Structure 1
Amino acid sequence: MTAHRIVFANEKGGTGKSTTAVHVAIALAYQGARVACIDLDHRQRTLFRYMENRLDTEKRRDIALPGTRFTYYDGESVEELEEIAAEIGADQDFLLFDTPGKDDPLARYVATTADTLVTPLNDSFVDFDLIGQVEGETFKVKKLSFYAELMWEARKKRAHSTINEAKRDLDWVVVRNRTQQLQARNMKRLDGALQELSKRVGFRIAGGLSERVIFRELFPSGLTLLDKGQLGDLGTSHLVARQELRGLVAGLNLPVPTRPAVVDEPDLAVAAE
Structure 2
Amino acid sequence: MPSGPDNTHVIVFANEKGGTGKSTTAVHVAIALAAKGARVACLDLDHRQRTVGRYLDNRAQTIKRKGAALPMPVYATHDGHTPERFEELWNQLIDGADYFVIDTPGRDDPFARLAAQRADTLVTPMNDSFVDFDLIGQVDPETFKVTHPSFYAELIWDARKARARADGATIDWVVLRNRLQHIEARNMRRVQEALMQLAKRVGFRLIPGLGERVVYRELFPAGLTLLDSRFFGEMGLGHVAARQELREMMAALSLPEPQLPMFADHAAAGIVAA
Question: Above 0.5 in TM-score?
Answer: yes
After superposition, what is the alpha-carbon deviation per residue over 1:30-86, rounded to whole angstroms, capped at 9, x for unaligned? Answer: 111111111111011110011111111111111111010000001324343122111
**TM-score, structure 2 as length reference:** 0.89
For residues 52-67 of structure 1, the aligned pairs below 5 Å read 52-67=57-72
Q: Distance in 2 between matches of 1:79 and 1:262?
A: 32
Shift of 1:94: 1.1
Q: Distance in 1 between matches of 2:181 and 2:254?
A: 26
Match for 2:143 among 132, 138, 141?
Answer: 138
Partner amino acid for 1:140? K
Equivalent residue number for residue 270 of structure 2: none
Match for 2:97 among 65, 84, 92?
Answer: 92
Structure number with higher relative contact order (C-alpha < 8 Å, ≥ 6 residues apart): 2
- Number of corresponding residues: 259
- Establish whether residue 36 from structure 1 lines up as the match of residue 37 from structure 2: no
Q: Distance in 1 between matches of 2:213 and 2:238?
A: 11
After superposition, what is the alpha-carbon deviation per residue over 1:195-235, rounded to whole angstroms, capped at 9, x for unaligned? Answer: 01001110001111112421111111111110122221100
RMSD: 1.9
Shift of 1:169: 1.3
- Establish whether residue 170 from structure 1 lines up as the match of residue 171 from structure 2: yes
Shift of 1:261: 9.1
Shift of 1:155: 1.8
Secondary structure of the 1:206 match is strand
Q: Distance in 1 between matches of 2:80 and 2:60?
A: 25
Question: Which ranges of structure 2 fall in alignment gaps of 5 or more residues?
Answer: 266-274
Q: Distance in 1 between matches of 2:63 and 2:133?
A: 39
Worse overlay, 148-157 or 246-255: 148-157
What is the percentage of aligned positions where both structures have the same residue?
59
Q: Is the 8 A contact 1:173 1:203 kept in 2?
A: yes
Q: Is the 8 A contact 2:181 2:211 kept in 1?
A: yes
**Change beyond 3 A, Cα 1:51–1:103:** same
- Establish whether residue 51 from structure 1 lines up as the match of residue 56 from structure 2: yes
Q: Distance in 1 between matches of 2:146 and 2:124?
A: 18
- Establish whether residue 103 from structure 1 lines up as the match of residue 108 from structure 2: yes
Q: Is the 8 A contact 1:16 1:212 kept in 2?
A: no
Q: Distance in 1 between matches of 2:50 and 2:80?
A: 14
- Establish whether residue 257 from structure 1 lines up as the match of residue 231 from structure 2: no
Partner amino acid for 1:228? S
Equivalent residue number for residue 124 of structure 1: 129
Partner amino acid for 1:246? R
